[in-house]
Amino acid sequence: MKEINIIAEIGINHNGNIDIAKKLIDIAKEVGVNTVKFQKRTINKVYSEDDLNVPRKSPWGKTNREQKNGLEFGYKEYKIIDDYCKDKKIDWFASAWDLESLDFLDNFDLKFNKIASAMIVDKDFVENVANKNKHTFISTGMTNLEDIKYAVDQFNKSNTSFELMHCISLYPSPPEYINLKTINKMKKVFNCNVGYSGHENGIAISLAACSMGISSLERHITLDRSMYGSDQSASLEPRGLRELVGGIRKIEKAMGEEKLGYIFEEEKSIAKKLRAHIK
């Protein structure tokens, strides 16, 4: 079984604090995560003026604009993240939420792009990501079959490698909505690698997904689920992330090969002892 690419999504759970971002990178590296992921938005492109002016009490002020700006990292912070991840020898990338942010990420030599579930319906955006010719994770939450097919067609046309990410955009996602069997359906319909982007509580469902031959697993992470932020409650704290990574690596070993009627050398002496009474 090929090793699953475990992606720890920091997203905006750093709360605009570069030290928190570094701590989360440290935790991800320590427990054996392959890649960390952030989110990048051009605030005035993603949100309307009316939306930004809506009153909203947060640690950064009294309007939605102040909250959104407070959560957003710019070039200075991402250069620190880029250098820090290189030093830690862990990959990072980010999901762009607009074309300006997509181009902004070209400032860094990143292996991956990500099309978030919110963005897969934006055909112009999908085409631009496909034309970047960089391996891309395409999340499929809130998305119908036609939108997924359009994205797949664009990436095939551009000859850009990709994988679909089965995803339910509820935070947290109720188990009865998750339908892990969709992973196998996606593989058959689109003939591509399929990963899982989970927003459920706990690790059981993510571990189950890993037994279904997924290529990547993405989960949000946080220092503390009680921290301020919309994604915190559906995120894994350090202990949960450690247990998840350990469980995934055990599953990979246990899946092994398709061996029928095979007796391990170590079993032979035990078989002789336990069957000694059989004539």
This prediction has a pTM of: 0.94
In a domain, 20, yes or no: yes
pLDDT digits (tens, 9 = 90+) for 141-184: 999 999 999 999 999 999 999 999 999 999 999 999 999 999 99
Q: Which domain holds residue 84?
A: 5-274
Alpha-carbon gap, residue 88 to 270, rounded angstroms: 45
Q: Which backbone phi and psi does 235 adopt, to 5 degrees?
A: -105, 160
Percent of the chain scoring above 70 in pLDDT: 100
Which residue type sits at 60? Answer: W
3-class SS of residue 131? coil
In a domain, 33, yes or no: yes
The pLDDT value recorded for residue 229 is 85
Going from the C-alpha of 157 to that of each of 151, 153, 203, the distances in angstroms are 10, 6, 36
The pLDDT value recorded for residue 230 is 84
Going from the C-alpha of 262 to that of each of 9, 12, 202, 250, 254, the distances in angstroms are 41, 49, 36, 21, 15
The pLDDT value recorded for residue 1 is 67
Alpha-carbon gap, residue 155 to 106, rounded angstroms: 19
pLDDT digits (tens, 9 = 90+) for 26-54: 999 999 999 999 999 999 999 999 999 99
Average pLDDT over residues 101-125: 98
**H helices within the chain, ranges in order?**
18-31, 43-46, 49-52, 64-71, 75-88, 99-104, 123-130, 145-158, 175-178, 182-190, 204-210, 238-255, 265-274
Indicate which CATH number applies to the domain containing 72. Answer: 3.20.20.70
Q: Which two tokens stand for residue 30?
A: 């320590």
Distant-in-sequence, close-in-space partners of 172: CB < 8 Å, separation ≥ 6: 199, 200, 201, 233, 234
In a domain, 279, yes or no: no
Split at pLDDT 50, 70, 90, the class of 232 is confident
Split at pLDDT 50, 70, 90, the class of 231 is confident
Alpha-carbon gap, residue 193 to 198, rounded angstroms: 16
* pLDDT exceeds cutoff 70 at 63: yes
Buried b (16+ CB within 10 A) or exposed e, 159-180: ebebbbbbbbbeeebeeeebeb
Tokens 């995934």 correspond to 248
Tell me the Cα Rg of the chain.
21
User: What total of structural domains would you count in the chain?
Assistant: 1
Percent of the chain scoring above 90 in pLDDT: 94
The pLDDT value recorded for residue 279 is 82
In a domain, 42, yes or no: yes
Could you tell me which residues are beta bridge partners of residue 139?
165
In a domain, 78, yes or no: yes
pLDDT digits (tens, 9 = 90+) for 128-149: 999 999 999 999 999 999 999 9
Going from the C-alpha of 42 to that of each of 96, 103, 115, 154, the distances in angstroms are 9, 11, 15, 24
